[in-house]
Amino acid sequence: MRAQAGMSAVFPKLVLFDLDGTLLDSAPDMLATVNRMRAARGQGPMALEALRPHVSKGSRAMSAVAFPELGGEVPGAMVREFLDTYEQVLGQHGVLFEGVAELLEAIEAAGSRWGIVTNKPEYLARQVLPGLGWEARCALLIGGDTLPERKPHPLPLLHAAQVLDTAIADCAYVGDDRRDIESARAAGMRAIAALWGYRPDGDDPREWGADVLAGSVSELRRPAFWDALR
């Protein structure tokens, strides 16, 4: 049984978040990326609805969906092209999910800290922060290439707690992908599944093993939500 977590008045001492699909609706930026790639190959634009469920799966998965003729075999050069193209459009179309700004302010006001653990390459994730005014507010950012392992391995979350000198029992992780929940469970952190994010049809969050499912960002501001996790 997990140890009871230390909390501020409302939140755990440290709340860690995935980035794409959890804090940031980056699907429009990803769509601009694949449509540039498709245009370069003489193909028409892809619809957002077709790409959106795959955004949390990363550049290779999105490239596979954008170019089904590859049969899922995406060459490394195309992944590199995706990342380079994405860097050119990063932040031009994406927006915070509704309620995220207020949630982060509430966490800070309660005396807790928040950070980001994402599988996005660190150099790209860091470029997101200035446009949001998060450079000084985000306690820590770990990307998919920061450490030898990435989610669903527990190392990124364990490392985050260690760097910020916070007990695992005083941390929670919020993410919209199965790998987020698996990583949190393996690290011993409370795992919160964000239902507003990106996931393919048939991927049931109730099967991920999360401690709780959050249907909206606003739920995470309610003391009763966190009381249920004590």
Sort residue 52 into left (φ over 0), alpha (ψ -120 to 50) or beta. Answer: alpha
What one-character DSSP code corresponds to residue 151?
T
Catalytic residue from among 18, 29, 176, 180: 18
Q: Determine the Cα–Cα distance for residues 123 and 132; give it in Å rounded to an integer.
A: 16
Place of tokens 């709340």: 15
Residues in the chain, how many?
230
Pairing of strands 95-96, 24-25: antiparallel
Kindly state the tokens that stand for 38: 């498709």
Residue 95 DSSP SS3: strand
Q: Determine the Cα–Cα distance for residues 117 and 151; give it in Å rounded to an integer.
A: 9
- Rounded to 5°, the CA angle 62-63-69 comes to 125
Q: Which helix (H) or strand (E) holds 135?
A: none
Q: CA dihedral defined by 125, 40, 201, 184, rounded to 10 degrees?
A: -20
- Is 18 catalytic? The answer is yes
Sequence letter at residue 182: E
Place of tokens 């469920």: 53
Sort residue 202 into left (φ over 0), alpha (ψ -120 to 50) or beta. Answer: left
Residues taking part in catalysis:
18
